[in-house]
Chains A and B, each alone.
Chain A
Amino acid sequence: MSYLYFPGCSLKSTGRGYEESILPVFEALQMPVKELNDWNCCGATAYMSINELTAFALSARNLALAEKQNPDSRSETVNLMAPCAGCYLVLNKTERYLKEFPDIRKKISDSLKSANLEYKGKVKVRHPLDILVNDFGTDKLSKQVKNPLRGLKIACYYGCQIVRPYAEFDDQHNPITMDRLMQAIGATTVDWPLKTRCCGGSLTGTIQDVGLRLSYIILREAKKRGADLVATACPLCQFNLECFQNKMGRLYHDEVNMPVFYFSQLIGLALGIPAKKLAMERSFVPLKTSDMAKIMEGGTNVRS
């Protein structure tokens, strides 16, 4: 199966590490991925706050483009992979609303027509977690692991929008797809209750005290549960959790110092892709050298 890839604005700037790790991983797993040509911003949460219909229209253009650029002529449905949780939800929500509410569908298809586009409803919006677990399979993944991350304790943080409001491929209250992937590459996952608690979203840029507290709650809990690092699947979560740790330290008198990586970077490491090719150096908080050694030794240095 081949996939169309919708990067979204974040994966081209602050979340570059996500793009630069998910593409090599898919390449190593021999899953063909093609970037959606001339994609536009999904609208994020901000567009919905100004005008509902134009927010849907923005996403609908992407869906229409995806349908036109179907990479797999044999298959009826077009698999559009959106790694950013925000894009994933907005595209998915638009797809659902276009099916559910004929009134919206009519208005949007009229406006698409004025831009010489058409959407027939064949796109399925997929998250890479869903693709890796359900299309590729964890058994197959664990067979390809070269450097098992044995001894590494990972707190998997899913964030809000992958499982809420629509739980397409995972449990809404206790999602496990990322945990299964991390276990498949040899790591230990931490059982914790904040997997889907809000990281604060864009509040860290607008009302920072409020946003920082939400992120700090998550990091502190991960630390308390003994995690070596937090794995995320959303560029905004990664940014919030990682880039403000100095400020959190000053605000809460607690040195956080918790590495936050994309799950795809960790899979890449396990598959034997060098850290440099996974954009690990773009991170603010590096992996502890002892943890890095564990990975490089192929998991021989198992913590008791």
Chain B
Amino acid sequence: MPDWQKWRKIKYEAELDPGFADKIASIPGGEKLFKCIQCGTCSGMCPLSPDMDYTPRQIIAMIRAGFKKEVLSSHTCWLCASCYACTVECPKEIKITDIMYAAKRLAIQEKVYPKRFAIPVLAREFFNGVKRQGRSNESFLLTRLYLKTNPLQLFKQAFLGLQLFYRGRMSLKLESIEHKNELKALLNSLEKEPLMKSKTGTPVATGEGAR
């Protein structure tokens, strides 16, 4: 097979997940997903689309077609820096940034995000840190991130850390709130809530069994 054809993969209709688009569209205001005209404005506006494996326009088309595995394991949603450039320019008012968030959440829920990729790890470490302390602490957060992904980075960034420390911009004190129990009660009460609901209102099942 010639080289330029090798990247082509055949996907059969039976391998698609027909309910995937509904799951993503269940976010508040997400039903506009189905109005996409594939104009590509989002991909053109996105400052990161050159680095993505699929551009935002492709991701929207793939979500609607049911390419669940490809969408959730792609780097696209993790590269999104939430600058909302796509969202404000979309002629159909699709909340593309929020759709990227939904894809991130599903990818974590189904554990299919790219392995050893720093961004999902950062999100999880941030999540857990804030849950414990009520506030985020940048030096602890980054140390944990680099330990979990690439410990070499710890040495590479050490100089920057020192410079920040010298200027009083990085502290070793763990910031936290006073009423941690209040926050705990607040977050725990939502813990049982399903992350996303499908159209019928039943919680989204996880894993392969969902199909």
Contact = CB atoms under 8 A, between A and B. Distances in A.
Interface of A: 9-10, 12-17, 38-41, 43-54, 57-58, 61, 97, 100-101, 103-104, 107, 110-112, 114-117, 160-161, 164-165, 172, 196-198, 200-203, 205-207, 210, 214, 243-244, 281-284
Contacts of B51: 207, 210
B34 interface: no
Nearest to A205: B142
Contacts of B158: none
A116 B182 contact: yes
B206 to A, nearest CB: 14
B134 interface: yes
Contact of B193 (A47, A53, A165, A210): A53
Nearest to A14: B169
A201 B123 CA distance: 13
A198 B83 contact: yes
Contacts of A161: 82-84
Given A57-B186, A164-B87, A100 B28 contact: yes
Interface of B: 27-29, 47-48, 51, 79, 81-85, 87-88, 95, 97, 101-102, 104-105, 108, 118-120, 122-124, 126-127, 130, 134-139, 142, 145, 160, 163-164, 167-171, 175, 177-179, 182-183, 185-191, 193, 195-196
B169 A13 contact: yes
Tell me if B's interface is mostly helix, strand, loop or mixed. Answer: helix
Contacts of B195: 51-53
Interface centre among B84, B175, B185 (most CB of A within 10 A): B84
B150 to A, nearest CB: 10
A47 B187 CA distance: 12
Lowest 6 CB-CB distances: which A-B pairs, in order? Answer: A198-B83, A201-B81, A160-B83, A164-B84, A46-B126, A206-B118
A13 B171 contact: yes
A283 B164 CA distance: 9
Given A115-B183, A243-B160, 13 more contacts: A45-B82, A50-B123, A54-B191, A160-B82, A160-B83, A161-B83, A172-B88, A197-B47, A202-B119, A203-B48, A205-B145, A214-B47, A282-B168
A207 to B, nearest CB: 7
22 contacts: A9-B137, A13-B137, A13-B169, A14-B169, A44-B126, A49-B120, A51-B105, A52-B105, A61-B182, A101-B29, A103-B28, A111-B190, A114-B186, A115-B185, A161-B84, A164-B84, A164-B85, A198-B48, A200-B81, A201-B83, A203-B119, A284-B167
Contacts of A47: 123, 126-127, 130
A86 B198 CA distance: 30
Contacts of A244: 160
A107 B190 CA distance: 8
A201 B147 CA distance: 21
Contacts of A111: 186-187, 189-190
Contacts of B160: 243-244
B35 to A, nearest CB: 17
Contact of A114 (B47, B126, B170, B189): B189
A196 B66 CA distance: 34
B179 A38 contact: yes
Contacts of B118: 205-207
